[in-house]
Amino acid sequence: MDDANALVSCEPQPGFIARLQERGHFGIKCGLENIQALLGRLGRPDRGFPVVLVAGTNGKGSTGAFLAHILKAAGFVVGWTTSPHLADVTERIWVDGEPIGRGALDRLLGEAFEAEAQVGLQATYFELMITAALLAFRETGVEVAIVEVGMGGRWDATNATDPILTVLTTVGLDHQQYLGDTREAIAREKLCTARDGRPLVLGPTLEPDWIRPLLSCQPTLHPAPRLGPVDIQWDHSRVGGKRVGLAGLHQLDNLATAFEAVRQLRAQGFSIPEECLWPSVAEVQWPGRLWKVPGLEGVWMDGAHNPDGACVLADHALACGVRPHLYVGSMGDKDLRGVARELKRMHPLSVTFLQGDAPRYATAQALREAWDLEAPMLTLGQAKAHLRAPSEAPRLVTGSLYLVGDLLLEMGIQPF
């Protein structure tokens, strides 16, 4: 297949997708041996196109969305991997602005499972998905691939690629049980995605003088300058009068990071005309990131799941003078108290806790202790009725992208 749209049109064959689900979303493995063996068996699909690797605690998906839209507007066939998905696993692999079809994904996963059997290993869910993504990109002839790091960087499957450019969006406390208890320790893990002599783009919150001692190699550092002047509204922003499709001051930092990545790609010979930038930025939508849910009155969803993400969400609400009704659900292994501390700064009109069916969800007791609040707990089925009813103020669902995805499935709403 040599057509970039061919991966979208295949008929679904769910066998290997079902096998993938049996691996679970959350298994991790320290080491790149599995992914290197899989890619080697499959002829190193990652070497057929330039890779931009996007790492960071928060902002990876939004930065990738901005960059993918800009590059597509410039005429490139763009591959893009992102995680987690909201409603369907196909959302993790995009080619030329469209998610992969289920049939194509199943076929490519079949190739990954066959390679797994041939080399005699058992890969994780994420390793198999990254393998399928890189196969998809080779098959469709992408001209540039934006590859989002899953967790950390040193041992993440995406780090088996050889990027021409690495982006580090932010560094905050998350996944401490795997990455370390300090920002410095976590930064060291993420900075393993950089390469000697190649550009490393830093988000506006990251100081080069703080980054340099944490590096294990010598990339060229390119801090992204902040954008301005800005006009911040609840549902969008403007920079110098130009509209930005994603809302929040933090999204302007993600956009600034994407713009710096564009400058570094231009320096490597990519033709990205200036007139492509702002029209594509105005059109960017990224479900689950301060996203107005279609078909619902005044309902917004944001996947903030750590204190840094909750902080920028609260800052945005305060800056816009918005006091929402909060609906909060989280995974139990997150910093529930840290998230609660930040979200409380919104002075929400009410707080309601949510819990899905998966055992990883935080319990009512854990949420009430973290918030020091005897708020009601709803199932996702009960939340559906609440969110379909009218309200005098915005409703904001937050605390986890997995929560957002499960709730969208419960409500029968497709994010893409």
pLDDT (tens, 9 = 90+) of the chain, 416 residues, equals 334 444 544 444 459 999 998 887 545 567 899 999 999 999 999 999 999 999 999 899 999 999 999 999 999 999 999 998 999 999 999 999 999 999 999 999 999 999 999 999 999 999 999 999 999 999 999 999 999 999 888 899 999 999 999 999 999 866 666 667 798 999 999 999 999 999 999 999 999 999 999 999 999 999 999 999 999 999 999 999 999 999 998 999 999 999 999 999 999 999 999 999 999 999 998 899 999 999 999 999 999 999 989 999 999 999 999 999 999 999 999 999 999 999 999 999 999 999 999 999 999 999 999 999 999 999 999 999 999 999 999 999 999 999 999 999 999 999 98
Evaluate whether 42 touches 108 at the Cβ level (below 8 Å).
no
Sequence-ordered list of residues with C-beta below 8 angstroms from that of 323, at least 6 positions apart, any chain: 317, 346, 347, 348, 349, 393
**Domain limits of the chain?**
6-283, 291-411
pLDDT (0 to 100) of residue 4? 44
HEC profile of the chain: CCCCCHHHHCCCCCHHHHHHHHCCCCCCCCCCHHHHHHHHHCCCHHHHCCEEEEECCCCHHHHHHHHHHHHHHCCCCEEEECCCCCCCHHHHEEECCEECCHHHHHHHHHHHHHHHHHHCCCCCHHHHHHHHHHHHHHHHCCCEEEEECCCCCCCCHHHHCCCCEEEECCCCCCCHHHHCCCHHHHHHHHHCCCCCCCEEEECCCCCHHHHHHHCCCCCEEEECCCCCCEEECCCCEEECCEEECCCCHHHHHHHHHHHHHHHHHHHCCCCCCHHHHHHHHHHCCCCCCCEECCCCCCEEEECCCCHHHHHHHHHHHHHHCCCCEEEECCECCCCHHHHHHHHHCCCCCEEEEEECCCCCECCHHHHHHHHCCCCCEEEHHHHHHHHHCCCCCCEEEECCHHHHHHHHHHHCCCCC
The b-or-e profile of 78-98 (16+ CB within 10 A means b, else e) is bbbbbbbbbbbbbbbbbbbee
pLDDT (0 to 100) of residue 251? 94
Q: Which amino acid is at 344?
A: K
Evaluate whether 380 touches 407 at the Cβ level (below 8 Å).
yes
pLDDT (0 to 100) of residue 151? 85
pLDDT (0 to 100) of residue 8? 44
pLDDT (0 to 100) of residue 2? 39
Phi, psi of 122 (to 5 degrees): -125, 110
Domain 6-283 -> CATH class: alpha beta
Instruction: Indicate the burial class of 332 (C-beta count within 10 angstroms; 0-12, 13-18, 19 or more).
Output: middle
The residue with tokens 């709803």 is 378
Beta-sheet pairing, 78-81 with 93-95: antiparallel
pLDDT (0 to 100) of residue 303? 93
pLDDT (0 to 100) of residue 193? 97
Evaluate whether 84 touches 93 at the Cβ level (below 8 Å).
no
Cα(130)–Cα(132) distance, integer angstroms: 5
pLDDT (0 to 100) of residue 393? 93
- The answer as to CATH 1.10.10.410 being correct for domain 291-411 is no
